[in-house]
Amino acid sequence: MIPNYLDKSFHVSMGISLIVFALAGVVWIFLPLALFYIITLVIFRRKHSPYKDNVVNRSEDMVYAPANARIVSVKKSVDHVIFGKNLIEIQMGIPWWSEAGLYLPVKSEVKDFQFKDGKSVFRFNSKPLADQSNISLSGISLSLETTKNQFIGIQLIKCVLGQWPELIVMPGDKGKERANIGFFPFGGTVVLFLPDNYDILTKENNEVIAGETVIAKDIQVNQ
């Protein structure tokens, strides 16, 4: 079976239904149901691992892509009501067909988790999210503290035609960079907020791979 994010109860119910219709010889129901099951497995597929353990350039100074997405915009000197001021903002759109996993961009601890059922947006909206009213108060906001005591923010905003992310982390949880923290059904918008001491290594319209593409690097001189 394809590794996936689906609940076990879904697999059990689908399996029982397929067996019943197969034994009853109701082919006109069995075949569409089987096709639906296969398509669902593909959409909710899950990688075994987003990276190789023997990566040569592995460094805690690097920020990795938290999702499979396209870079929509990169902005500097951005203020956020939760994450602070003078930040670097990186907006990413996740297509509905991408592997839906969400991953920690750096080795860190989850310090805060907030949810506000605000305004949904199209993942590839032509207008920058910052130009839309109350967008900073929409969706799920995760505050992460790195091993260097720096704070990084992740905002997850569902698409109008999508669903809210399913996360498996809460405040106090710790994880290495590129650790899976949940998934984003049918995609959406991920906005990454970094301190201004990071050098951005990507640009608009770049395609990034979760846990593999380096988004930024900390250029702050170690004291």
What mean pLDDT, rounded, does the chain reach? 83
DSSP-derived secondary structure letter, 6: -
- Residue 28 predicted with pLDDT over 80: yes
Is 153 domain-assigned?
yes
Asked whether residue 30 falls in the same domain as residue 119, the answer is no
71-90 confidence digits (pLDDT tens): 998 999 988 888 989 999 99
Backbone dihedral region for residue 94 (phi beyond 0: left; psi -120 to 50: alpha; all else: beta):
beta
Asked whether residue 70 falls in the same domain as residue 154, the answer is yes
106-119 confidence digits (pLDDT tens): 999 999 988 877 66
- Residue 164 predicted with pLDDT over 80: yes
Q: What is the pTM of this model?
A: 0.80
Nearest to 176 by CA among 111, 222, 109: 109
Asked whether residue 98 falls in the same domain as residue 164, the answer is yes
Is 117 domain-assigned?
yes
What CATH number does residue 192 fall under? Answer: 2.70.70.10
d(CA 187, CA 93): 8
Q: Which helix (H) or strand (E) holds 201?
A: none
Is 206 domain-assigned?
yes
Q: Supply the range of the domain harboring residue 27.
A: 8-43
Is 54 domain-assigned?
no
Asked whether residue 204 falls in the same domain as residue 103, the answer is yes
- Residue 103 predicted with pLDDT over 70: yes
- Residue 133 predicted with pLDDT over 50: no
pLDDT value, residue 129: 57
The domain tally of the chain equals 2
Is 124 domain-assigned?
yes
Among 18-27, 124-133, 208-217, the minimum mean pLDDT is found in 124-133
State percent of the chain over pLDDT 90.
40
Q: Token match 């720096």: residue?
A: 150
Q: Token match 């108060």: residue?
A: 137
**Pair of tokens at residue 60:** 């805690």
